[in-house]
Amino acid sequence: METLIPSRLSTLGHPQRLALFRLLMRRYPDRVPATELAQALGLKPNTLSTYVNALKQVGLISQERVGTSLRYGINLDAARETIAYLLHDCCRGRPDICVSNANPTPNGDSSMTDRKYNVLFICTGNSARSIFAESILRDISGDRFVAHSAGTKPRSDLNPFAIDVLKQKGHDVSVLRAKNISEFQASNAPCFDFVFTVCDQAANEECPSWQGQPVSAHWGLPDPVKVEGSDAEKSLAFHQTYGALRNRMIGFTALPLASLDRMSLQKAVDEIGQSKEEGPST
């Protein structure tokens, strides 16, 4: 392993290879198609291929073929051993230098205690998926969670199909509006316990810095806004997205937060994000 460390560090020393590595870390445990990586990073396919091969050669990422598509993901063991080697080599038993003083769990608790938790859902437009997530969590969680949503490039208006679905499900839409993520980065913003991205485009963008180091995960779902066809077909897509998010919220609110350490909690929310089934829309 030690013989690979210099090669890994050298590979990550290139800005665009590092950007690719960071994007895949944000998307973990997803495997991301090459076409999406190229688009997100603004790279030509042959340039992306060069960077991917360099990271593969030092074991930092892996590849799998799904049909005709190549998909790439982080080799988390390799990433961990590289970081661990750096810390061990420079620290020499001095935790005052290298041990992170980051909170082991959100807001400084050694375990998630029985209190209200602030949750933020991020999408690109903040007009459908993140609005669904905010509304569902607000209504099914009682007073355990405070739900928010925002967009990296929010639209001026909420999607009318999304609003129709929420009204049919009995949600109060008067409290909803499209918000820019910058609203939640101000000094008076809530300190979040959880931050979830619910669309791939938002997850592929650079992560903002969140105070309190919240637990984060990617819960990406296809964009119902992009569905073409009749109004009935479009409405069905929004109902299916609503159902899938509702299932995830049910799983999330059922987690025994007070008894989970941070690593167990991270694993649990990652697993929820990997569920691809479409839930019932009722």
Rounded CA-CA distance 137/233 in Å is 26
- pLDDT of 114 reads 56
Instruction: Name the nearest CA neighbour of 163 among 242, 90, 55.
Output: 242
pLDDT of 166 higher than 80: yes
pLDDT of 104 higher than 50: no
- pLDDT of 180 reads 94
Band of residue 93 on the pLDDT scale cut at 50, 70, 90: low
- pLDDT of 278 reads 47
Q: What is the mean pLDDT of residues 153-177?
A: 95
Q: What is the mean pLDDT of residues 136-159?
A: 93
pLDDT of 95 higher than 70: no
Q: What is the mean pLDDT of residues 84-97?
A: 70
- pLDDT of 110 reads 43
- pLDDT of 64 reads 94
Tokens of 43: 């790279």
Higher pLDDT, 221 or 275: 221
Instruction: Name the nearest CA neighbour of 117 among 87, 141, 135, 139.
Output: 141
Do residues 38 and 44 lie in contact, with contact meaning Cβ atoms separated by under 8 Å?
A: yes
Instruction: Name the nearest CA neighbour of 249 among 280, 211, 209.
Output: 280
- pLDDT of 96 reads 65
Q: What is the mean pLDDT of residues 56-69?
A: 93
Q: Using the structure block, give the residue that is written with the tokens 């938002």.
A: 202
Q: 222 by DSSP, 3-state: which?
A: coil
Angle of the 45-57 helix axis to the 34-41 helix axis, nearest 10: 110
For domain 2-77, say whether CATH 3.30.565.10 is its number.
Answer: no
- Dihedral sign, Cα of residue 13, residue 14, residue 17, residue 20: positive
pLDDT of 97 higher than 80: no
- pLDDT of 209 reads 74
Give residue limits of the domains in the chain.
2-77, 106-274
pLDDT of 171 higher than 70: yes
Q: What is the mean pLDDT of residues 126-142?
A: 95
- pLDDT of 282 reads 41
Give the global pTM.
0.80
For domain 106-274, say whether CATH 3.40.50.2300 is its number.
Answer: yes
Do residues 238 and 165 lie in contact, with contact meaning Cβ atoms separated by under 8 Å?
A: yes
Looking only at the bridges linking them, the beta strands covering 145-151 and 215-218 are: unpaired
- pLDDT of 279 reads 44
Q: What is the mean pLDDT of residues 122-150?
A: 95
Residue 1, amino acid = M
Rounded to an integer, what is the distance from CA 39 to the centroid of its chain? 18
Tokens of 45: 């396919």
Q: What is the mean pLDDT of residues 222-232?
A: 94
Q: What is the mean pLDDT of residues 21-35?
A: 93
Band of residue 192 on the pLDDT scale cut at 50, 70, 90: very high
Do residues 227 and 233 lie in contact, with contact meaning Cβ atoms separated by under 8 Å?
A: yes
Entry field: residues in the chain: 282
Q: What is the mean pLDDT of residues 86-111?
A: 58
